[in-house]
Amino acid sequence: MKILSAIIAICFATVVFAQQNNESVRINQLFNFDWKFKAGDIPDAKNIFFDDANWRKLDLPHDFQIEQPWDSTANRGRGFKTLGTGWYRKTFKADPAWKGKIILLDFEGIMLHGDVWVNGKKIGGTAYGYLGFEADIAALIKYDADNVVAVRAATDGGSRWYTGGGLFRDVHLVVKDTISIARHGIFITTPNISDKNAAVSVQVEVAGVKFKQYQLEIIAKIFSPEGKLVGETKTMAPQKYYLTSVEVPLPKLNVADPKLWSCETPDLYSAEVTLILNGKLIDKLTEKFGIRTVEFSKEFGFKLNGKKVFLKGVANHHDLGAVGAAAHETSIARMMDQLKAFGFNHIRTSHNPYSEAFFKLADEKGILVVDELYDKWGSIQAWAGSAAWNDIWFNNEKEWIKRDRNHPSVIMWSFGNELQFQEERWNFATGDGGVTTYRIMDVVAKRYDHTRKTTVAMYPARAGGIIRANPDFRIKENIVPPELSTVTEVASFNYTWEDYQEYLKHAPDMIIYQSEAVTNELAAPYFGMDRDKMVGLAYWGGIEYWGESQGWPRKGWNYSFFNHAMEPFPQAWLTKSIFTDEPLVHIGVVDNEGESKMWNDQVVGQKVISSHWNRQEGKKYNCYTYTNADEVELLVNGKSMGVQKNSADVKKRNTIYWKDIPFAAGTITAIARKGGKEVARHELQTTGKAVALKIETENTNWKADGMDLQYVKVYAVDSKGNKVPTATGEINFDVSGAATLIAVDNGDHSSNDLFSGNKKLLYKGFAMAILRSAQSAGNVRLKITGEGLKQAEQTLIIK
């Protein structure tokens, strides 16, 4: 028995050692936990012995700007938040096993820009906070004492919208060999695809190789979406290379019966890349990718895997409602899920690279992305960087493309927004309306990714810079596309859909994409395009975002289909009626006519519409029914208000207007018919008085990783359980157990309340709590109370 026990112990030790040895090849540690934060610009906060004992403890990601008070005197473009500075500090211990290794701190971004110190020494920073950087800190590490990371983040700069502030994305600590796979060093393409076979090309950039003579083998194994090994390729790295890193193409390999990535089936393969030096494993990294083809043409617009796809999307800024710009993966996921539920398949990242979590989720959920780098080229106006654009654009573009090029969701690169004229505003004026700048950037893009087309979004102006305010704008001979749009591989136009056919007379080879469409034009930008031959469209501000407010007390853009809590406005069902084949009808009642104004040389605005039938006796209301059926009949308490046909006019299609509908308590019903047969119905019911609270949770697989969020939606309901959208009053959230309450919200874009604390006023009968899981499994107990309402209680499990 002693001999048997000894053998078992030796075997167990061998297995553990093998596991530890394998894991220690490359350490990639999430560095988000146990930071300290202090608002303000604090002298000496970078110093190692600075006293931060009274600083606030928090975990990343974090947006300090969303926590600041709303200020009606502050810049409305920046979300009525004052600009400022915040400091972060974190203490950690180093493992002696790291000695002799490269030790990297990898910041995915610092908003709006920032600098980093380790043990009092500056190690780097980012002048354009939407892109990250890494720095080797091995020479600064102390193995016999605590190490201190200090970060200064500032929000000053020329951005036109709300940016957020601070360590708003993930931070990682990476430990690897001196010879290793370089940053964003794996590049995977699928050059030839058929039903039975897909060719896969893998290129690996190896760092730390300058003038070294070694036997370094590079191996790439391809695993199917189910985790099965389906291919392997290998090669030897060159010796005595003259640069610090070398890009090594491996022999192509074939994958039989490939599962193609698409919006409906977002299947992802994995490439496991290993480096073997003189027979020893020294690095290993896994990268996910999709097998798919992307084609653009003036004949069909866009094809995915040989099938015509029309982009149906939104163009939004990067913030996420109550958490601000903090890039919580759960927040991004719920946004994408809601968009897909309403038929959207596309997001344009206006006007900067989004988080790595965003692209990971877009891959997993089948969202098509136009990936955008900048708002403007140049440093004179509307520039968000802390260094001159001329000095950093090349490294920005290189980092951006190498970071995102393996994502199958990314179908096109966009270098910027509204850049074809007013060169005097920038300091990179080429005298040709941005043509030369675009061509230079296109050469750089093709250096790092030859598989995608590139574009630049156009300001809604004509050739020669003729804008809408110019009386000559509508003269037919002036309806000529901007010069830059005729040069870009895809011609991206903000708005002006009604002129595309005229533009094509002057430049018939253009491939047209509507990079921004206005929501107040409803379905017209969609139906007004030649959807057989054009790429698609993205509705500007389809989701409410902070900043670019049209006036206090609104805290941001609110001409949208969804509020900032991702609750749909009635107009969202219009988008679903045009984006999906599902027969539907939805009633919207006009609360007020809203407003219409000129913004960015485009008419914008929105009527205020809601979907409830708790109205005032004796009054008449104007209504809309949104439908993709042939006709709709509207009834109040069973009495027909008439039947109306769906219009063929692109400016009215799928939107039927009903004037002066008399209110009577009970029901208002819309019946949609096609070919005389009912295909859909929607009914609003007058509810009773709110008597209780009802809880709805979203995350059915809440993970105990310290990062996962749970969105708890609370509704006031009547005695029959019907939601009461007119209910008001304050509610309290009592949370205990294995989670933290990080924000409370109600979707009111005009509220002066912040999102901290545990109290919130009901808005339209709704409030919401956002909880962050602990790093260990357990239960979370919720108790939600409100005066005059039966409380709601629920226990949630974190696994």
Q: Which of 274, 288, 106, 105 is nearest to 204 (CA)?
A: 274
Would the pLDDT of 640 be above 80?
yes
- Average pLDDT of the residues of the chain: 95
**Strand 667-674's sheet: what is its strand order?**
639-645, 631-636, 667-674, 677-685
**Strand 307-308's sheet: what is its strand order?**
294-297, 301-304, 307-308
**Would you state the pLDDT for residue 15?**
34
Beta-strand relationship, 368-372 and 346-349? parallel
Residue 266 has phi, psi (to 5 degrees) of -80, 65
Section 651-679 average pLDDT: 98
**Would you state the pLDDT for residue 1?**
37
Q: Which of 410, 428, 406 is nearest to 419 (CA)?
A: 428
CA pair distance 68, 163, nearest whole angstrom: 13
Section 737-742 average pLDDT: 98
Identify the residue whose tokens are 């939407």. Answer: 130
**Would you state the pLDDT for residue 426?**
76
Query: How many CB atoms neighbour CB 582 within 10 A?
Result: 11
Would the pLDDT of 437 be above 70?
yes
CA pair distance 258, 292, nearest whole angstrom: 9
Would you put residue 361 in left (φ > 0), alpha (ψ -120 to 50) or beta? alpha
**Would you state the pLDDT for residue 425?**
75
**CA separation, residue 140 to residues 33, 223, 619 (Å):** 21, 39, 74
**Would you state the pLDDT for residue 391?**
95
Tens of pLDDT, residues 714-733: 999 999 999 999 999 999 99
Confidence of residue 11 (pLDDT cuts 50, 70, 90): very low
CA pair distance 759, 174, nearest whole angstrom: 40
244 CB-near residues (< 8 Å, 6+ apart): 207, 208, 209, 210
CA pair distance 22, 42, nearest whole angstrom: 42
Q: Which residues pair with 684 in a beta bridge?
A: 668
CA pair distance 703, 799, nearest whole angstrom: 5
**Would you state the pLDDT for residue 375?**
95
Q: Which helix (H) or strand (E) holds 365?
A: helix 356-365
Identify the residue whose tokens are 């078992």. Answer: 8
280 CB-near residues (< 8 Å, 6+ apart): none
CA pair distance 758, 745, nearest whole angstrom: 10
**Would you state the pLDDT for residue 98?**
97
CA pair distance 448, 404, nearest whole angstrom: 11
Q: Which of 20-24, 488-492, 517-521 has the lowest mean pLDDT?
A: 20-24
**CA separation, residue 479 to residues 187, 414, 419, 483 (Å):** 42, 24, 18, 12
Identify the residue whose tokens are 């049209």. Answer: 550
Provide the total of helices (H) and of strands (E) in the chain, helices listed first. 8, 47
**DSSP-assigned states of every residue in 404-443:** HTT-TTEEEEEEEES-SS-GGGSS---SSTTHHHHHHHHH
**Strand 216-223's sheet: what is its strand order?**
229-236, 216-223, 269-277, 280-289
**CA separation, residue 149 to residues 63, 95, 306 (Å):** 18, 16, 50
Taking a C-beta distance cutoff of 8 angstroms, is the pair 306, 293 a contact? yes
Q: Which of 18-27, 95-104, 105-114 has the lowest mean pLDDT?
A: 18-27
Tens of pLDDT, residues 520-540: 999 999 999 999 999 999 999
Tokens of 177: 């060999």
Q: Which of 548, 773, 782 is nearest to 33 (CA)?
A: 773
Percent pLDDT > 70 in the chain is 97
Burial string for 596-615 (b: 16+ CB within 10 Å, else e) reads eeeebbbebbbbebbbbbbb
Confidence of residue 428 (pLDDT cuts 50, 70, 90): confident
Q: Which residues pair with 656 in a beta bridge?
A: 625
Section 330-359 average pLDDT: 98
CA pair distance 597, 209, nearest whole angstrom: 59
CA pair distance 755, 181, nearest whole angstrom: 42
Task: Using CB atoms within 10 Å of the CB of residue 753, give its burial: 0 to 12 exposed, 13 to 18 middle, 19+ buried.
Answer: middle
Section 721-747 average pLDDT: 98
Q: Which residues pair with 332 in a beta bridge?
A: none
Would the pLDDT of 17 be above 90?
no
167 CB-near residues (< 8 Å, 6+ apart): 35, 60, 61, 62, 88, 107, 110, 111, 151, 153
**CA separation, residue 570 to residues 522, 586, 627, 785 (Å):** 12, 7, 12, 29
Confidence of residue 24 (pLDDT cuts 50, 70, 90): low
**Would you state the pLDDT for residue 600?**
87
**Would you state the pLDDT for residue 422?**
76
Q: Which of 30-34, 371-375, 423-427 has the lowest mean pLDDT?
A: 423-427
**Alpha helices (runs of H) in 100-251, residue ranges in sequence order:** none
Taking a C-beta distance cutoff of 8 angstroms, is the pair 313, 298 a contact? no
Number of residues in the chain = 799
CA pair distance 432, 95, nearest whole angstrom: 56
Q: Is the peptide bond before 351 cis (omega within 30 degrees of 0)?
A: yes
**DSSP-assigned states of every residue in 48-102:** TT---TTSEEE-SS--SGGGSPP-TTS-TTTTS----EEEEEEEE---GGGTTSE
Confidence of residue 161 (pLDDT cuts 50, 70, 90): very high
Instruction: Return the C-alpha torsion angle 479, 481, 482, 483, nearest 10.
Output: -120
Report which DSSP code applies to 396: H
Q: Which residues pair with 497 in a beta bridge?
A: none
SS3 632: strand
Tokens of 169: 């994305």
Identify the residue whose tokens are 């009642």. Answer: 589
**Would you state the pLDDT for residue 430?**
86
Tens of pLDDT, residues 764-797: 999 999 999 999 999 999 999 999 999 999 999 9
Would the pLDDT of 394 be above 50?
yes
Tens of pLDDT, residues 652-662: 999 999 999 99
SS3 142: coil
**Alpha helices (runs of H) in 645-714, residue ranges in sequence order:** none
Report which DSSP code applies to 215: -
Tokens of 337: 């899920």
Query: How many CB atoms neighbour CB 226 within 10 A?
Result: 8
Tens of pLDDT, residues 45-75: 999 999 999 999 999 999 999 999 999 999 9
CA pair distance 401, 106, nearest whole angstrom: 17
Confidence of residue 624 (pLDDT cuts 50, 70, 90): very high
Identify the residue whose tokens are 């990250």. Answer: 132
